[in-house]
């Protein structure tokens, strides 16, 4: 059971290898809406953004009214026409509740609001004038018959029962305004009377039938019950000790003293350490030592201790699952980390023993019950068993629970004004009708409203995006957009393959703008080569492939033979410097050494302090110059060819055989559809991000390389494909015929400062220099334009920077210690296009789209290529997208909150401030401009293909059919689109007639910081037409 | 000419932080939201002006060979038994502190300007930050104990507010409150000390208390007997213990790491944490009078260092490790003061402040730095030298010591359970008595303090 629950815990291991997975991966078996709702319940987080945010978007036109209506109709189905009250349907009621900001709050707050504001004296500003008049005239008519002095009543009087009811509901109200002079009341008096009688009526009506108590979250834990009684939170004490101990247990070698008995496992180590005498004197932990000694002496395994603790806490077996879930989730960061260190022990330097999560739980339960017992004893004077305590408190808790009338009544009161329901009309409703009314109002919970608003929010973007793709296909003239000559006679100027990452979208666009004859491709950033890689000046292997794959091959970087000696010498120097730095680092935190240090040279520290903070770029340049003489030689080779038969980390086992190389590289080429029309120069760009002061740096690196830099994969692939033996083998098997004139170059794109590193240029044939030089010029130009576009998103960069200034700006960001937003990563991602680049070439996609190259015309009848692609791309992109989604909708709950108080712990992750749960997810500074939406996949394929693939791949099926991503299909032969909804493909009809057209990207985004619509780039000077 | 220059420079030094806090605070009060750029510029200008003027003052004193300059802004209260003079002293103790304050706060201000970008509490941060600088300058330049107290209070207030900067989470608010309550104890001690000094010397001016000599040559006024010096000195020591996180108040320092990194750096790595040591330095002539006081000071300093370096050894997160490292050095500094090594202590403070600030600002870069070091060394880095082996002395001792360090010497628990709880209990009892008494007098029935609870704890027995 614990193992099942552990699937709910965050799957983030050490932060140095940031993992992009769906935050709620454990709930993917549920449809999206149900899944997030369940997640919200379990984790106590927000599943969507709050209603006010969406209403603001309605105002700004980001949610269209039509879209909202459609989303609501979609949700209601046929039930929309159900009558709530005679003249209002459920659809109308819900629409009003969606669009209007009703004041809600706790009863006490509303009582204050009613008493202290004009809520009962003036109609709401949004109430339509006609409805106000309706209420006024209706109230007048009704009040004159109900309250006028007997002689003046126009019609027959009411029966005795009604009279009595009138008296109780409206007691004293007419008198307040002068009952006897009712006929002469002014209009203003009538307004007040109408509203106040309406309020009385709403309250009385709701009171008469009662409101069901909202069942939210899990049933209360003993801690919650005690918190209610004593205002003291056991979790505070338990967590303080537990966090400290978890940090000590998981520590990767930061502390000078390590935890004694760490190898014996968490529970044993704790028992040994805390079981001795003279322990912590905290009142709440009295008797803890004795208890630990007892548990230890009894020889209980951690699992048995859990059983024992649950029994002692009085938790019935039926509640175990919920209870254990709650307890693990209360400190989910640490629990998740410990679990990951156990199951993915290959990802940490010092893994933890098996089943540490169980020990963690056992420990937690022991601490909790000791603390609860002590708290009950000291504050409640209770000395019985915990089970007894829990039973008693639970009774008390249930007794004291009652829902207040005001929240529901006040909501009703506000709605009545919008719909023109008057007090008289409501007064005449029967009990059943009241029940129906309250059910309707109360039953449309905030969560339901958020859901529909969110769907409308997504729908708006979906419409724009699909329109753009379809319209672009219609208007595109084949020659302008495709670099590849359809006849296949002239090859493109050069080809450049990038990661599918949404950050590369703009760079690719600029390459095509600068050099219209260049062709770009998109492929997952590990280029189909999963490896463990160690660079020349690196100590450890890093894992360069998606997190779900375990690589089988090792690759290392070595200096070229002539520089071997220099390399050894420099490595020794570096080692000396490194050792000295390490001594300094550790020593500066001690007592004696640090005293000497600070007294002697401490003041000198002000020099780097001032310079690094005030002139980051200059300092970085000086530092680079100064360290140049010890750096590893820059002429290196990768060792990729294996001598031994089996791959492994030993020197002879490193690399691949020629056969393996041929298989892997041919597969990658086929996946991206690069099988014909090879250019003379083909560039492969891995990517990574260089930045400082950023524990989350790895979240900016390549997601397809488990948060590392993908340069080595690109370089390996290029080396393989340049090998004549590999080419020959591929050609012989009839897969791809690479012309002898083609040369491949691996490179790395630094996404933070937009620079490139090209590898193995010394191997570039003389004949290819010109072609490469031209390509490099294009790349440099495109990089500057790319930096310029990126700068529009940074508030601290001016909007009118020139490309050069922008390039300097992003470079400064990467070197700045104080910069919390070195770049925005995959923020704003919302779209993923799987298909030929021609379908999107010339479309401004605002860095929001993953672009995956796939040529449907080259695929077989079983759609093997597409299946392989989707099998990797769907989970990866969905993971990235949903990680951003959740970190944005509830930054403190799912994400890791603001970066500012983060504190690096155990060399594994970050805590907030001095001690807190391990914080998982993305920081606010990385997601603040993100629009949380489910990813919209546009795949150039046919329904049959998708169905086949979903049948073959369970994970893909689950993600798509449960709606964790949205899916549309673009016909490979035309420009029609099919939208996948509720398990079916429906034809998509266009909403827009034409796309705005501009000459260049710059023209479109100039002066704008916000998200932009998609548009078409004509490449020629045209008129700018914004919608 | 000289006097005029002194007055002008002195006024600028004091005015720069004053203007800053007035503008930022005033705008906050008036509900004006200043753009980030303007706030950043303002902070830079004020800090730079203040730094320039302090340097000018230093140059002036070096040129003319004076050891103490006094800026007097008049008598604000002057009644027979009491006068309050707004007086600032520039001497070899206060000038280095003022320079340090301006330089560090200026640099960290520039850091924070980018670090806090787009943070909702940006303006609030800089408002409190300005208050801190103001308090720091007032406290270091103060020429009388009242002025010092004013600055001392502002430093304490801003410190607690920045610990609780992220007040939407419970833990910063809780820890901010803890810092605040320790500071209150320390403030109360300082206030008592100042009253005692008034009582004995008849004035709070350092000129009178320390006989108008420039630091560190002053000696205690003749009215102060060794016994008195011991008592007053103990009060001052108590307030320094609170402010500088000495034993037994050490627990709050690691908890103060809740605020944004720049404020942690400048408060707990550099300035605020040294303010207690500054106070002791200022009143160091008292230590000369009373050897008992000197010994107590040294013992407390050493005890702090021992505890902090023990606890520092088991810390697994960078900010706690740094805060214990700071604490160890502050303990040493206090011990140095107790031993009479004043210049030594001053140099130690300056060096430590600069070095630690740099370390704090680099704290989020820890993982990056570690990978650099690892790559250079070509192997995994481990700071651990195994667990401390004391089992030869007594079996289990090493484990006991580990737990002792991990729980930070149990100081927090001891303070909470044996001082705070009994005090709270006492107050609650008093409150109950008062209620019963008033109820008796007014003849009303005693109401349950929490009417929402149907029954009290009694029915659990």
* Across A679-694, average pLDDT: 90
The alpha carbon of residue B275 is apart from the nearest alpha carbon of chain A, in Å, by 17
The confidence score (pLDDT) of residue B446 equals: 56
B361, B108 contact by CB (below 8 A): yes
**A928: chain B residues, CB-CB within 8 Å:** 118
Residues 6+ apart with CB under 8 A from A677: A484, A485, A488, A491, A492, A519
- Does B256 reside within a domain? yes
Q: What does the DSSP assignment read for A17-40? A: S-----TTGGGTTS-HHHHHHHHH
What dihedral angle (degrees, nearest 10) is formed by the CA atoms of A272, A276, A281, A285?
A: 50
φ, ψ for residue B90 (rounded to 5)? Answer: -110, 110
On the question of pLDDT at A484 being above 50, the answer is no
Distance CA A37, CA A766 (A): 62
Answer whether B367 sits within 8 Å of A907, measured CB to CB: yes
The confidence score (pLDDT) of residue B389 equals: 53
Crossing angle for the helix pair A658-671 and A864-889, to the nearest 10 degrees: 70
- Does B383 reside within a domain? no
DSSP state of A258: P
B380 touches chain A (CB under 8 A): yes
On the question of pLDDT at B52 being above 60, the answer is yes
Token pair 């050099």: residue: A515
The confidence score (pLDDT) of residue A956 equals: 94
Distance CA A701, CA A689 (A): 5
**B107: chain A residues, CB-CB within 8 Å:** 606, 609-610, 613-614
The alpha carbon of residue B368 is apart from the nearest alpha carbon of chain A, in Å, by 7
Answer whether A255 sits within 8 Å of B314, measured CB to CB: yes
The confidence score (pLDDT) of residue A488 equals: 47
Task: Map out the domains of chain A as residue ranges.
Answer: 64-214+403-447, 221-382, 566-630
Q: Which of A354-368, A389-403, A527-541, B355-369 is least confident?
A: A389-403
Q: What does the DSSP assignment read for B292-327? A: HHHHHHHHHHHHHHHHHHHHHHH--BHHHHHHHHHH
Within 10 Å of residue A156's Cβ, how many Cβ atoms? 7
What tens digit of pLDDT does each residue of A350-397 get? Answer: 888 888 999 999 999 999 999 999 988 888 888 888 888 888 888 888
Answer whether A281 sits within 8 Å of B119, measured CB to CB: no
Answer whether A276 sits within 8 Å of B416, measured CB to CB: no
Query: How many domains does chain B divide into?
Result: 2
- The closest alpha carbon to A685, from A499, A535, A537, belongs to A499
* Across A307-315, average pLDDT: 89
* Across A266-285, average pLDDT: 83
Among candidates A244, A591, A692 on the partner chain, residue whose Cβ is nearest the Cβ of B368: A692
Burial class of residue A579, CB neighbours in 10 A (0-12, 13-18, 19+): middle
What tens digit of pLDDT does each residue of A134-186 get? Answer: 999 999 888 888 877 666 665 555 677 888 888 888 888 888 888 888 888 88
On the question of pLDDT at A275 being above 50, the answer is yes
- Does B313 reside within a domain? yes
Same domain, B239 and B159: yes
- Does B111 reside within a domain? yes
Reported as type and span, the H/E element at residue A636 is: strand A636-639
Residues 53-112 of B with CB under 8 A from A: 103-104, 107-108, 110-112
Range of the domain at B268: 2-366
Answer whether B316 sits within 8 Å of A255, measured CB to CB: yes
* Across A232-255, average pLDDT: 90
Distance CA A257, CA A274 (A): 16
**A814: chain B residues, CB-CB within 8 Å:** none
- Does B266 reside within a domain? yes
Long-range contacts of A206-212 (CB under 8 A, 24+ apart): A206/A405, A206/A408, A206/A409, A206/A412, A206/A434, A206/A438, A207/A405, A207/A409, A208/A431, A208/A434, A209/A431, A209/A434, A209/A435, A209/A438, A210/A403, A211/A403, A211/A404, A211/A405, A211/A407, A211/A408, A211/A438, A211/A442, A212/A403, A212/A442
B310 touches chain A (CB under 8 A): no
A965, A875 contact by CB (below 8 A): no
Using 50, 70 and 90 to split pLDDT, how confident is the model at B53?
A: very high
B299, B242 contact by CB (below 8 A): no
In chain B, what is the greatest distance between 2 CA atoms, to the nearest angstrom? 82
Same domain, B33 and B181: yes
A–B CB contacts, 8 A cutoff, strictly below? 326
Distance CA A346, CA A540 (A): 12
On the question of pLDDT at A733 being above 90, the answer is no
What tens digit of pLDDT does each residue of B275-333 get? Answer: 999 999 999 988 988 999 999 999 999 999 999 999 998 999 999 999 999 999 999 99
* Across A666-671, average pLDDT: 92
The alpha carbon of residue B79 is apart from the nearest alpha carbon of chain A, in Å, by 45
- Does B225 reside within a domain? yes
What tens digit of pLDDT does each residue of A992-1024 get? Answer: 888 899 988 999 999 899 999 999 888 643 333
φ, ψ for residue A923 (rounded to 5)? Answer: -75, 155
Same domain, B269 and B175: yes
What tens digit of pLDDT does each residue of B182-239 get? Answer: 999 999 999 999 999 888 888 888 888 887 777 877 778 778 888 989 999 999 999 9
Answer whether A614 sits within 8 Å of B344, measured CB to CB: no
Distance CA B160, CA A623 (A): 38
The alpha carbon of residue B197 is apart from the nearest alpha carbon of chain A, in Å, by 33
The confidence score (pLDDT) of residue A739 equals: 92
Minimum CA–CA partner of A379 in chain B = B457
Residues 6+ apart with CB under 8 A from A501: A525, A687, A702, A703, A704, A751, A826, A850
DSSP lists the bridge partners of residue A832 as A850, A937
Distance CA B434, CA A155 (A): 64
The confidence score (pLDDT) of residue A736 equals: 84
Choose the final residue of a domain: B366, B396, B429: B366
Same domain, B320 and B422: no
Among candidates A379, A396, A614 on the partner chain, residue whose Cβ is nearest the Cβ of B107: A614
Chain A interface test: which of B316, B370, B385 (most A C-beta within 10 Å) = B316
Same domain, B80 and B221: yes
| pTM for this model (two decimals) | 0.92
What tens digit of pLDDT does each residue of A792-805 get? Answer: 999 889 999 999 99
Long-range contacts of A300-305 (CB under 8 A, 24+ apart): A302/A265, A302/A267, A302/A355, A302/A358, A302/A359, A302/A361, A302/A362, A302/A363, A303/A358, A303/A362, A305/A267, A305/A362, A305/A365, A305/A366
In B78-112, which positions are buried (b, 16+ CB within 10 angstroms) versus exposed (e)? Answer: eeeeeebbbbbbbbbbbbbbbbbbbbbbbbbbbbb
Answer whether B175 sits within 8 Å of A913, measured CB to CB: yes
* Across B103-119, average pLDDT: 92
- Does B389 reside within a domain? no
Percent pLDDT > 70 in chain B is 93
Using 50, 70 and 90 to split pLDDT, how confident is the model at A520?
A: very high
- Does B96 reside within a domain? yes
Please state, rounded to an integer, the average pLDDT across all residues of chain A. Answer: 88
**ipTM of this predicted complex?**
0.90
A26, A886 contact by CB (below 8 A): no
What dihedral angle (degrees, nearest 10) is formed by the CA atoms of B150, B153, B157, B162?
A: 90
Same domain, B320 and B417: no
What tens digit of pLDDT does each residue of B65-91 get? Answer: 888 888 888 788 888 777 788 889 999
What tens digit of pLDDT does each residue of A21-79 get? Answer: 888 988 999 999 999 999 998 888 999 999 999 999 999 999 999 999 999 998 988 88
B171 touches chain A (CB under 8 A): yes
Using 50, 70 and 90 to split pLDDT, how confident is the model at B386?
A: low
B406 touches chain A (CB under 8 A): yes
Answer whether A903 sits within 8 Å of B319, measured CB to CB: yes
What tens digit of pLDDT does each residue of A12-33 get? Answer: 888 888 888 888 988 999 999 9
Using 50, 70 and 90 to split pLDDT, how confident is the model at A487?
A: very low
Same domain, B90 and B144: yes
What tens digit of pLDDT does each residue of A417-434 get? Answer: 999 898 888 888 888 888
Using 50, 70 and 90 to split pLDDT, how confident is the model at A250?
A: very high
Work out the end-to-end distance of chain B between its first and last CA atoms, rounded to an integer number of angstroms.
Answer: 82
Same domain, B272 and B417: no
Choose the final residue of a domain: B366, B401, B420: B366
Tell me the Ramachandran region of residue A879: left when phi exceeds 0, alpha when psi lies from -120 to 50, beta otherwise. Answer: alpha
Same domain, B185 and B68: yes
Distance CA B26, CA B33 (A): 11
* Across A256-276, average pLDDT: 87
Answer whether B116 sits within 8 Å of A693, measured CB to CB: no
Using 50, 70 and 90 to split pLDDT, how confident is the model at A322?
A: confident
Q: What does the DSSP assignment read for B355-411? A: HHHHHHHHGGGHHHHHHHHHHHHTS------SS---TTTSTTHHHHHHHHHHTGGGH
Distance CA A802, CA A818 (A): 24
DSSP state of B343: H
* Across B150-163, average pLDDT: 94
Using 50, 70 and 90 to split pLDDT, how confident is the model at B447?
A: low
Answer whether A248 sits within 8 Å of B362, measured CB to CB: no
Within 10 Å of residue A954's Cβ, how many Cβ atoms? 9
A796, A772 contact by CB (below 8 A): no
In chain A, what is the greatest distance between 2 CA atoms, to the nearest angstrom? 118
On the question of pLDDT at A545 being above 80, the answer is yes
The confidence score (pLDDT) of residue B87 equals: 86
DSSP lists the bridge partners of residue A849 as A831
Query: Cis peptide leading into B294, omega within 30 of 0?
Result: no
Answer whether B369 sits within 8 Å of A585, measured CB to CB: yes
């Amino acid at each position: 059971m614990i193992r099942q629950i552990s699937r709910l815990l965050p799957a983030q291991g050490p932060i140095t290898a940031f993992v992009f997975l769906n935050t709620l991966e454990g709930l993917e078996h549920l449809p999206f809406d149900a899944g997030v709702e369940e997640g919200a319940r379990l984790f106590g987080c927000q599943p969507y953004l709050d209603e006010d945010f969406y209403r603001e978007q309605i105002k700004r036109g980001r949610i269209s009214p039509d879209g909202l209506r459609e989303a609501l109709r979609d949700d209601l189905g046929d039930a929309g026409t159900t009558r709530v009250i005679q003249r209002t349907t459920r659809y109308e009621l819900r629409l009003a509740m969606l669009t209007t900001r009703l004041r809600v709050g706790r009863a006490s707050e509303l009582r204050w609001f009613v008493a202290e504001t004009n809520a009962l004296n003036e109609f709401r500003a949004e109430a339509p004038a006609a409805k106000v008049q309706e209420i006024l005239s209706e109230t007048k008519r009704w009040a004159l018959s109900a309250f006028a002095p007997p002689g003046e009543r126009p019609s027959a009087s009411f029966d005795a029962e009604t009279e009595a009811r009138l008296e109780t509901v409206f007691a004293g109200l007419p008198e307040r305004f002068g009952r006897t002079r009712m006929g002469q009341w002014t209009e203003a008096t009538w307004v007040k009377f109408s509203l106040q009688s309406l309020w009385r009526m709403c309250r009385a009506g709701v009171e008469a039938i009662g409101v069901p108590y909202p069942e939210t979250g899990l049933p209360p834990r003993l801690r919650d019950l005690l918190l209610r009684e004593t205002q003291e939170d056991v979790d505070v004490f338990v967590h303080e000790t537990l966090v400290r101990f978890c940090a000590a247990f998981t520590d990767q070698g930061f502390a000078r003293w390590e935890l004694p008995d760490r190898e014996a496992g968490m529970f044993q180590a704790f028992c040994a350490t805390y079981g001795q005498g003279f322990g912590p004197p905290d009142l709440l932990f009295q008797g803890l030592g004795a208890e630990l000694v007892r548990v230890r002496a009894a020889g209980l395994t951690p699992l048995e201790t859990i059983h024992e603790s649950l029994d002692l806490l009085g938790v019935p077996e039926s509640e175990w699952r919920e209870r254990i879930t709650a307890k693990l989730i209360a400190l989910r960061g640490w629990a998740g980390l410990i679990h990951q260190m156990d199951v993915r022990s290959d990802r940490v330097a010092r893994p933890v023993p098996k089943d540490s999560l169980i020990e963690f739980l056992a420990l937690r339960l022991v601490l909790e019950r000791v603390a609860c017992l002590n708290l009950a004893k000291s504050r409640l004077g209770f000395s019985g068993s915990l089970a007894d305590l829990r039973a008693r408190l639970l009774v008390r808790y249930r007794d004291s629970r009652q829902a207040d009338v005001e929240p529901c009544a006040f909501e009703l009161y506000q709605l009545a004004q919008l719909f023109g329901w008057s007090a008289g009309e409501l007064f005449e409703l029967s009990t059943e009708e009241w029940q129906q009314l309250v059910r309707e109002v109360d039953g449309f919970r905030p969560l339901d409203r958020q859901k529909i608003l969110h769907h409308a929010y997504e729908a708006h973007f979906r419409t724009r995006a699909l329109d753009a793709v379809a319209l672009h296909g219609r208007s595109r003239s084949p020659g302008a957009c495709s670099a590849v000559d359809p006849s296949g006679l002239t090859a493109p100027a050069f080809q450049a393959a990038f990661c599918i990452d949404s950050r590369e979208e703009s760079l690719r666009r600029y390459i095509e703008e600068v050099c219209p004859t260049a062709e770009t491709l998109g492929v997952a950033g590990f280029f189909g080569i999963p490896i463990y890689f160690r660079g020349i000046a690196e100590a450890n292997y890093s894992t360069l492939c998606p997190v779900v794959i375990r690589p089988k091959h090792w690759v290392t970087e070595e200096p070229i033979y002539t520089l071997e000696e220099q390399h050894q010498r420099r490595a020794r120097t570096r080692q000396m410097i490194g050792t000295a730095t390490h001594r300094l680092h550790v020593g500066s935190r001690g007592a004696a050494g640090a005293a000497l240090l600070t007294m002697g040279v401490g003041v000198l520290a002000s020099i780097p302090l001032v310079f690094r903070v005030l002139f980051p770029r200059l300092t970085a340049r000086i530092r680079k110059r100064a360290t140049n003489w010890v750096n590893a030689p820059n002429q290196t080779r990768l060792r990729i060819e294996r001598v031994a038969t089996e791959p492994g980390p030993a020197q002879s086992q490193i690399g691949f055989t020629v056969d393996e190389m041929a298989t892997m590289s041919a597969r990658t080429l086929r996946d991206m559809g690069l099988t014909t029309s090879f250019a003379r120069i083909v560039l492969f760009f891995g990517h990574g991000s260089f930045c400082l002061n950023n524990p989350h740096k790895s979240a900016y690196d390549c997601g397809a390389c488990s948060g590392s830099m993908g340069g080595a994969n690109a370089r390996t692939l290029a080396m393989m494909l340049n090998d004549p033996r590999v080419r020959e083998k591929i050609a012989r098997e009839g897969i791809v015929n690479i012309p002898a004139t083609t040369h491949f170059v691996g490179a790395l794109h630094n996404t933070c400062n937009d620079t490139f590193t090209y590898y193995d240029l010394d191997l570039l044939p003389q004949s290819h220099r010109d072609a490469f030089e031209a390509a490099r010029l294009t790349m440099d130009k495109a990089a500057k334009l790319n930096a310029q576009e990126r700068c529009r998103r940074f508030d601290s960069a001016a909007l009118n920077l020139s490309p050069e200034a922008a390039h300097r700006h992003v470079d400064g960001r990467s070197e700045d210690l104080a910069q919390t937003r070195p770049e925005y990563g995959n923020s704003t991602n919302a779209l993923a296009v799987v298909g030929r680049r021609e379908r999107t070439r010339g479309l401004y996609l605002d860095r929001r789209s993953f672009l995956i190259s796939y040529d449907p015309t080259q695929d077989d009848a079983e759609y093997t290529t597409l299946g392989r692609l989707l099998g990797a791309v769907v989970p990866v992109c969905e993971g990235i997208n949903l990680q951003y989604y959740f970190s944005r909708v509830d930054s403190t709950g799912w994400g890791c909150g603001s970066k500012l108080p983060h504190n690096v712990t155990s060399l594994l992750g970050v805590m907030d401030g001095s001690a807190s749960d391990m914080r998982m997810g993305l920081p606010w500074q990385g997601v603040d401009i993100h629009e949380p939406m489910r990813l919209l996949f546009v795949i150039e394929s046919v329904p049959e293909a998708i169905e086949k693939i979903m049948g073959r791949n369970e994970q893909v099926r689950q993600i798509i059919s449960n709606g964790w991503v949205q899916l549309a299909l673009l016909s490979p032969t035309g420009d029609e689109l099919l939208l996948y909804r509720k398990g079916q493909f429906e034809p998509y009809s266009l909403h827009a007639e034409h796309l705005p057209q501009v000459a260049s990207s710059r023209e479109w985004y100039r002066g704008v910081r916000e998200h932009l619509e998609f548009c078409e780039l004509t490449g020629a000077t045209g008129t700018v037409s914004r919608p | 000419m000289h006097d005029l220059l002194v007055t002008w420079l002195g006024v600028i030094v004091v005015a720069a932080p004053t203007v800053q806090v007035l503008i930022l605070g005033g705008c906050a009060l008036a509900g004006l939201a200043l753009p980030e750029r303007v706030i950043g510029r303002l902070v830079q200008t004020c800090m730079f002006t203040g730094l320039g003027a302090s340097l000018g003052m230093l140059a002036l004193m070096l040129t003319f060979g004076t050891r103490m300059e006094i800026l007097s802004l008049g008598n604000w209260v002057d009644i027979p038994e009491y006068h309050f003079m707004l007086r600032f002293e520039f001497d070899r103790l206060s000038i280095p502190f003022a320079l340090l304050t301006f330089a560090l706060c200026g640099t960290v201000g520039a850091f924070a300007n980018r670090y806090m970008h787009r943070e909702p509490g940006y303006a609030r941060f800089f408002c409190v930050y300005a208050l801190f600088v103001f308090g720091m300058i007032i406290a270091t330049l103060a020429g009388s104990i009242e002025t010092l107290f004013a600055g001392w209070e502002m430093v304490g207030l801003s410190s607690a507010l920045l610990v609780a900067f992220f007040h939407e989470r419970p833990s910063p608010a809780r820890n901010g409150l803890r810092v605040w309550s320790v500071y209150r104890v320390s403030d109360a001690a300082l206030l008592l000390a100042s009253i005692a000094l008034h009582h004995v010397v008849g004035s709070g001016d350092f000129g009178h208390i320390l006989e108008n000599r420039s630091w560190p040559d002053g000696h205690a006024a003749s009215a102060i007997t060794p016994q008195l010096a011991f008592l007053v000195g103990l009060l001052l020591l108590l307030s320094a213990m609170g402010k500088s996180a000495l034993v037994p108040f050490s627990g709050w320092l690691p908890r103060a790491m809740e605020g944004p990194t720049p404020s942690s750096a400048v408060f707990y790595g550099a300035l605020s944490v040294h303010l207690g040591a500054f106070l002791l330095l200022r009143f160091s002539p008292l230590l000369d009078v009373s050897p008992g006081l000197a010994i107590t000071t040294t013992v407390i300093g050493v005890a702090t260092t021992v505890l902090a370096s023990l606890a520092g050894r088991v810390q697994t997160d960078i900010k706690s490790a740094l805060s214990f490292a700071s604490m160890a050095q502050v303990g040493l500094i206090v011990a140095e003061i107790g031993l009479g090594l004043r210049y030594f202590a001053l140099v130690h403070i300056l060096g430590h402040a600069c070095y630690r600030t740099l370390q704090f600002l680099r704290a989020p870069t820890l993982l990056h730095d570690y990978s650099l070091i690892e790559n250079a060394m070509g192997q995994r880095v481990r700071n651990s030298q195994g667990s401390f082996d004391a089992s030869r002395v007594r079996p289990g001792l090493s484990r006991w010591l580990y737990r002792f360090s991990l729980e930070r010497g149990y100081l927090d628990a001891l303070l909470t359970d044996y001082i705070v709880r009994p005090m709270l209990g006492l107050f609650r009892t008093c409150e109950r008595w008062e209620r019963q008494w008033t109820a008796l007098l007014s003849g009303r029935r005693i109401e349950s303090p929490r009417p929402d609870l149907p029954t009290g704890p009694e029915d659990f027995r």
